[in-house]
Every structure is written in C-alpha cells, then in structure tokens.
A and B are shown apart, each in its own frame.
Chain A
Amino acid sequence: GAVVSQHPSWVICKSGTSVKIECRSLDFQATTMFWYRQFPKQSLMLMATSNEGSKATYEQGVEKDKFLINHASLTLSTLTVTSAHPEDSSFYICSGSGSREQYFGPGTRLTVT
C-alpha cells in the first residue's frame, strides 16, 4: 500500500514553545490530508481536514489559531502546535487520501513539559 511518513516520531518540548509536525505522502499525491489526535486509551479524533492549496477545515472545538495546518503541496502537510501546554500532550496522526483510500502515518508522540 501507499506510504505516509511523519516527522518527528516523538518530540518533547517545554510549555509555551511551538512544535511542527510534518506529514508526507511518499509515493502518491494526497489531495486531502487529515490530522487526528489520540489520547491514551481513547480512539482517534479528527482535528482537521486540509485540501492542497486551501485553508484547513477544523472540527468543532479545535482551535485553528493553536493548531496551524499548512498543506502547500500534494505530498506535504504540516501541523504546528503553537504555545504548547501539557494538555496538548498526545499522539498526533495524519492520513493522506488521493482517491478513496486513506493511508495513515506512523504518528508523532508529543510530550509537553
């Protein structure tokens, strides 16, 4: 199947700093990318949907000014967690879709101290 990579795979940052997570589709063009968050022992929650070249659509309750999403090309989307707080510590997963299938990245574990 198609491959989606995420970088970094894990990151620890101090409260108040910003962290950028990259999501790349390696062997297909992802016209749509999705960002999910998963807290321990819980299922994935969709944060936002981004289409290449346009603004992301955020789910209710997700702060667009805090979670900045950029989808500048068909192979790269970035999620920036601004002014991170300990409650932002979570597992962030992206997925890319070029047609009907969705391909998931391996996830990024963010710990904010």
Chain B
Amino acid sequence: KNEVEQSPQNLTAQEGEFITINCSYSVGISALHWLQQHPGGGIVSLFMLSSGKKKHGRLIATINIQEKHSSLHITASHPRDSAVYICAVETSGSRLTFGEGTQLTVNP
C-alpha cells in the first residue's frame, strides 16, 4: 500500500462543475502539499497546509489530521484547469512523498 493514495486517478468534468480530488495518507506528516502539473511537465505549488482549510481563487484545500485525509476542490471548473493534480506529504527534513496524481480533464 502506498503511503499516499489519491482518488480518483482520472476525472473528466464539464466546464462549470464542482470538482473534488481526495488524498489519504498513512504516515505522520508535518504538512501536506497540493501540486499542479501541466502537460509540459512544469509543477506549480498550489497549497501547503498542516491544518484546517485554505482558499485561493476557485481552489480550496482542506485537511483532517485525525483522519489523515485531504481534499482539493475546484469550483466553477474551466478547461484551463485540465492538468495532473498531485498530493504530496511532507515528513522529516522537508522530504516529500507523492501520490500517483489525478488526471483532470475539463471539457468546454
């Protein structure tokens, strides 16, 4: 079993839909990161959180430390949101362990 599990692996949505991507982990962490990777490969850090909830524009990330679970929500999805979304947990020394990623496709 991977230390970081994401679901779903693939997600197709229509423009405007509300999207949720889930991440569960099995180790003790100091923080959890949500990352976005576009087809060219470049990675953008979306959120780093260790408790509660963060919001940036149409993106919302939540984490429940007791349940070892985090969710990434996208409101009013748009085709430009199409990308791979990766959950990564931070353990000792800022070391990151990554989930397999969720391929999101938003159709117009």
Contacts and interface: CB of A to CB of B under 8 A. Distances in A.
Interface string A29-66: 00010100010001111100100000000000000000
Interface stretch (B13-21, B61-69, B74-82, B96-104): B96-104
Contacts of A46: 95-97
B45 A32 contact: no
Contact of B96 (A34, A38, A103, A107): A34
Interface of B: 31, 33, 35, 40-45, 48, 86, 88, 93-101
Given A43-B99, A93-B43, A106-B42, 9 more contacts: A34-B96, A43-B98, A44-B96, A46-B95, A100-B48, A101-B45, A102-B48, A104-B42, A107-B42
Residue of A102, A103, A109 ringed by the most chain B CB atoms within 10 A: A102
B10 to A, nearest CB: 11
A97 B44 contact: no
Contacts of A101: 45, 48
A20 to B, nearest CB: 19
A50 to B, nearest CB: 11
Contacts of B43: 44, 93, 104, 107
A28 interface: no
B4 to A, nearest CB: 9
B44 A104 contact: yes
8 contacts: A38-B41, A42-B100, A49-B94, A91-B41, A93-B43, A100-B48, A102-B33, A107-B41
Given A49-B93, A102-B33, A44 B45 contact: no
Given A44-B86, A102-B33, A49 B95 contact: yes
Contacts of A42: 100
A91 B31 CA distance: 25
Contacts of A49: 93-95
Contacts of B96: 34, 44, 46, 102
A102 B45 contact: yes
Nearest to B4: A43
For the complex of A and B, the 5 pairs showing the least CB-CB separation, nearest first, are A104-B43, A106-B42, A107-B41, A43-B98, A44-B98
